[in-house]
Amino acid sequence: MSEPTFPIASLTVPVIAIDGPSASGKGTVAQLVAEKLGFHYLDSGALYRIVALATQQKNIAWDDALAVTECAKKLTIRFNNDQVYLQEGDVLKDISDEIRTEAMGKGASQVAVHASLRAALLDLQHSFRQAPGLVADGRDMGTVVFPNAQLKIFLTASTEVRATRRYQQLLAKNQPANFDNILLDLQERDARDKSRASAPLVMANDAILLETDNLGISEAVDIVLQNYQRKICK
């Protein structure tokens, strides 16, 4: 894995951990919360997507834990706002669009089952904990990566609502979209994320549950911000 982009993380820097299943809206909510607070943002799912892409390009099978982990350790990953880059020699390759496909989402959830890979990605994720604060989104932010986060949110919605959101996102990006396939894929991914032995998708004991079936993005953002204010004013 590449050298951390940021210097050594400090445990006193506040973290807001936002976990939840695919297409629950956590990425959008987390980014907006980070923007409002002027905090850094970690999209941990992007890391698993990058590994899925890099291993596919090297013809490494996603179920080969050892080869996937070794490949990941050699990657030099760079983030710049929304853009994601892989350094290959002197060349910085923009892979932002390539990692956002449904195929890479599926691949990410397959490589993400490997405990060795998850361990290899820990230091890089911790390195995002920089002043004035971090909003981290994923599946295990509040349970494994930042267990001492100041605020933990578990953002979820029904499978149908999430499938509809993902369907509309793909249409908006002019990407091929089939509602039934998306629904099936979400169900498969949820099952894999929840049942894996290493860092499964579970709500942390001290997390706040946010059901977003009937909640707009800005309302969800406001609730997270209010809860954060409450926590830091204690």
Q: Which residues bind ligand CDP (CB under 6 A)?
A: 22-23, 44-45, 48-49, 105, 108-109, 112, 138-140, 189, 193
DSSP letter (8 states) at residue 47: H
- At residue 172's C-alpha, the angle toward residues 214 and 43, to 5°, is 70
User: In the complex with ligand CDP, which residue's Cβ is closer, 46 or 221?
Assistant: 46
User: In the complex with ligand CDP, which residue's Cβ is closer, 136 or 234?
Assistant: 136
Say if CB 227 and CB 208 are below 8 A apart: yes
User: In the complex with ligand CDP, which residue's Cβ is closer, 14 or 138?
Assistant: 138
Smallest gap from residue 11 Cβ to ligand CDP (A): 19
Smallest gap from residue 13 Cβ to ligand CDP (A): 19
86: number of Cβ within 10 Å = 20
Distance of CA 172 to the CA centre of its chain: 21
> What CA–CA distance (Å, rounded) separates 30 from 3?
25
Smallest gap from residue 14 Cβ to ligand CDP (A): 19
Smallest gap from residue 26 Cβ to ligand CDP (A): 7
Q: How many contiguous H segments (helices) and E segments (strands) does the chain have?
A: 9, 8
User: In the complex with ligand CDP, which residue's Cβ is closer, 201 or 221?
Assistant: 201
